[in-house]
Amino acid sequence: ELYQTLENEGLLNKHYKYRSIILKAIFKLLDVEEPKVLLMFSRLILGFRVTSKNLINVCKLVFKVARSDKNDNEFLDGRITELLLETIKTVDHESNSEALVYCVGAIKFLTGNSIIVKQLARKEAIEILTKLLHNINKTNREQEKVNEQFGHILVQVMAAMRNLADVGSSRERMFKSKFIEELLPLIETYPGDSDLIMYTSRVLSKITMHTDCVTVLCEQANCFKSFIMLINKHIQKENLVVRLCFVLGNITAKRDEARLRLYKETEAMNTFLTVLKTYHSKFKQVRTFKVDSQSRPETDNDSKNKQGDYEDVLIKVIRVIANLSINETLGPMIASNGDLVQILLLLLEDCDVSTSEELVLNTIATINNLSYYTTKSNAVISKQMDISQALLKTVLSNNMEGMIECARVFGNLTRQKQVRDFLSQNKVDAIMMTLLDSGSLEVVYIACGVLMNFMTDEDKRLTLKKEGAISKLIEVLRDFGREDWQLSSTVCKVLCNYSAKITSSSACFGEKESQELLEILDEYLALETQLNDSVEDEVREYIKETWEVEFRPVAAELLKRIETNQSQFEPLEHPS
């Protein structure tokens, strides 16, 4: 009632004549334990705009209450959060730094509540905290020295911002308040503060999921230099390195310009290699310890957690390298790095897709990206036999995604005959033929790409007919042909390579299969039946170009080959 009366009369200010009397009475009662009462007292104290030690004490009090989530309901009404935000907004950060640590810390605890965090966002907590961050950065620049007390405030700011980043309106608010632009100055000022960098990296992990945020971040001149510096500085701290690599993975997944800038940053690739070597070594050591030792259950759990942490770092740094290698300028240079390829090979040999699925799949995907490039210096090509051997255990596993990723690599490596020979000896060609039944356009396309290479060898063609794959390829043409002319083209290339030495269509494909192929190819080569008038002009033009450039030439060649080698004689049935 006292608070409401003072507020209604406009008396909650420094000039009210009974202010000091009321505050003294309240201060005598602050030893109570009841959180609700303590917050009611705090509301009055903050309402009177106290300063100095009084401000520190009341902020400590609210911090203590906010620390326990059991008290969250007490903050849902009563204006206490507004008063906290107003305090952050109005007090001088230099002369009230200790009070701000506790005040922002209370806000940080409250952002952990899914209801309160939305209220705080509506009350402009993001904008207010960003302004505080901006003011601290500005003061640090002007004084040309680091204020450690500011670092304690910023830890609380970034921890709160991480939770606020989950609110629906947060991105728009961060853009308008220019929050993202303040992050790099913070990193450059406090690179050694691992707690602050941890919370900052958690915020970055969240916001770099969005392309518009990545764009703003990349506009900062020292963006990548700062990240590489942080990884090197904290390389033994897996919880930090994993988040920094995750951020770089997000950035390089979205912008090609970012790939170029990161790669060109001094020591970038050496840093990623060091991370790979360091955490591969740690990963192996903890796994060996787990196998060799007869440890207590709690020790075994620690070991398991560490292994998962180290594995996660490897997953994230490999993702960065995979993203960099997408760029056609950088790809060949990265592929020529023998040390990198050797570590990727060791990971394939050391890990199993059944226990380290994401790590194995990311490693294979990276090798696939690198194997795409046909330069003489490509280290993947020089180690192609070792890589093919290492991939076999994943191909032969029950993991379909692993098998598909391996098939992508084989699509590139089977350009080499010695790889084709090795894989054929291990029945990989037959496995690719089973994938034709998958019903997935993507999987069938990958399998056809590998089979196309296998069929360049005469001694491997018999398997196609023996495994019933000719009928499967015809089914693919019939089921998917009109949907994807690139796939249809690849199917025709498989059949063209298979029939390179054809003398009889019936003997080569089978009587029934030859007839089915003739009918399907005749139909598909009639252009006017393939272009749907209902689609947009641009899409229609793309379909037409794909049909003309990729499908028609190879389909016409296959059709001509079948027609030319049709026999006029009727085959005799097997005598009864």
pLDDT per position in the chain (576 positions), as tens? 888 888 888 877 777 888 888 888 888 878 888 888 888 888 888 888 888 898 999 999 999 999 999 999 999 877 899 999 999 999 999 999 999 999 999 999 999 999 999 999 999 999 999 999 999 999 999 998 888 899 999 999 999 999 999 998 899 999 999 999 999 999 999 999 999 999 999 999 999 999 999 999 999 989 999 999 999 999 999 999 999 999 999 999 999 999 999 999 999 999 999 999 999 999 998 877 555 555 555 555 666 788 899 999 999 999 999 999 999 999 999 999 999 999 999 999 999 999 999 999 999 999 999 999 999 999 999 999 999 999 999 999 889 999 999 999 999 999 999 999 999 999 999 999 999 998 889 999 999 999 999 999 999 999 999 999 999 999 999 998 888 999 999 999 999 999 999 999 999 999 999 999 999 999 999 865 556 556 677 888 888 888 999 999 999 999 999 999 886 554 555 555
* Alpha carbons 343 and 345: distance in angstroms, whole number: 5
Residue 338 · residue 376 · CB < 8 Å: no
Nearest CA among 410, 399, 393 for reference residue 451: 410
* Alpha carbons 96 and 85: distance in angstroms, whole number: 14
548-556, Cβ contacts within 8 angstroms, sequence gap of 24 or more: 550/485, 550/486, 550/489, 551/485, 551/486, 551/488, 551/489, 551/492, 551/524, 552/525, 552/527, 554/489, 554/492, 554/493, 554/496, 555/488, 555/489, 555/492, 555/521, 555/524, 555/525, 556/525
Q: What is the DSSP letter of 538?
A: H
Residue type, 15: H
CA 486 to centroid of chain Cα atoms? 29
* Alpha carbons 260 and 254: distance in angstroms, whole number: 12
Measuring CA to CA, how many Å separate 8 from each of 1, 16, 42, 78, 211?
10, 13, 18, 14, 47
* Alpha carbons 484 and 62: distance in angstroms, whole number: 64
Residue 224 · residue 268 · CB < 8 Å: yes
* Cβ contacts of 226 within 8 Å, gap of 6 or more: 184, 187, 188, 191
Q: Rounded to a whole number, what is the distance in angstroms from the first to the last CA of the chain? A: 108
H/E segment holding residue 220 = none
Under DSSP, is residue 237 helix (H, G, I), strand (E, B) or coil? coil
* Alpha carbons 457 and 306: distance in angstroms, whole number: 48
Instruction: Kindly list the domain boundaries of the chain, sorted by start residue.
Output: 1-123
- Tell me the three-class secondary structure of 516-529, residue by residue: HHHHHHHHHCCHHH
Please count the helices (runs of H) and the strands (runs of E) in the chain.
34, 0
